[in-house]
């Protein structure tokens, strides 16, 4: 059992190094805990399982409001955001300020490390492309 866990950890690190799928400084294990405490009451990480909010499976790299099975606000539908790590970091700080008119009532995560960890965790869900928000030349709308 321990060897299997070690193999998975090594495989995760190798894949992350090759794909850039770990947020610089973010810990996906801690991010999963941040998700459990703050996001899980409204969001699922299972494909196609929407709750009060849409499923966040494969959210990194996805266009905002692109889950056909979820009814988004007009603000989210028209924002034009692609959920890069940078966009998620900014949005998760203060969702209603970043996208005025969004339905999500969550006030945001003030702690940058919590946001980094959460984004690192979200990046492990699915096969979406991922780039660190600390990459040079990144832009937000």
pLDDT of residue 3: 64
Our CA dihedral for 67, 122, 106, 86, rounded to 10 degrees, sits at: -90
pLDDT of residue 126: 85
Beta-bridge mates of residue 63: 82
Q: Which tokens sit at 68?
A: 């056909």
Place of tokens 């699915």: 126
Confidence check: pLDDT of 130 > 90: no
Q: Which tokens sit at 99?
A: 């996208």
Residue-wise pLDDT tens digits, 95-123: 999 999 999 999 999 999 999 999 999 99
Residue-wise pLDDT tens digits, 65-84: 999 999 999 999 999 999 99
Greatest mean pLDDT range, 2-6, 72-76, 135-139: 72-76
Contacts of 83 (CB under 8 A, 6+ apart): 59, 60, 61, 62, 63, 64, 91
Q: Which tokens sit at 36?
A: 């459990």
The band of 32, judged by pLDDT with boundaries at 50, 70 and 90, is: very high
Q: Mean pLDDT over residues 8-12, rounded?
A: 48
Q: Which tokens sit at 115?
A: 């946001």
Confidence check: pLDDT of 2 > 70: no
All structural domains of the chain with their residue ranges: 2-122
Is the CATH code 1.10.760.10 the one for domain 2-122? yes
């Amino acid at each position: 059992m321990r060897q299997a866990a070690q193999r998975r950890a090594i495989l995760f690190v190798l894949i992350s190094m090759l794909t850039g799928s770990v947020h610089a400084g973010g810990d996906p294990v801690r991010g999963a805990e941040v998700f459990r405490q703050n996001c899980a009451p409204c969001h699922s990480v299972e494909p196609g399982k929407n709750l009060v909010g849409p499923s966040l499976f494969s959210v990194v790299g996805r266009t905002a409001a692109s889950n056909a099975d979820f009814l988004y606000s007009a603000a989210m539908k028209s924002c034009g955001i692609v959920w890069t790590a940078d966009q998620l970091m900014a949005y998760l700080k203060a969702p209603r300020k970043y996208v005025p008119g969004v339905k999500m009532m969550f006030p945001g995560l003030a702690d940058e490390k919590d946001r980094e960890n959460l984004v690192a965790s979200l990046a492990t869900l699915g096969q979406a492309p991922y780039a660190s928000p600390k990459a040079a030349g990144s832009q937000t709308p």
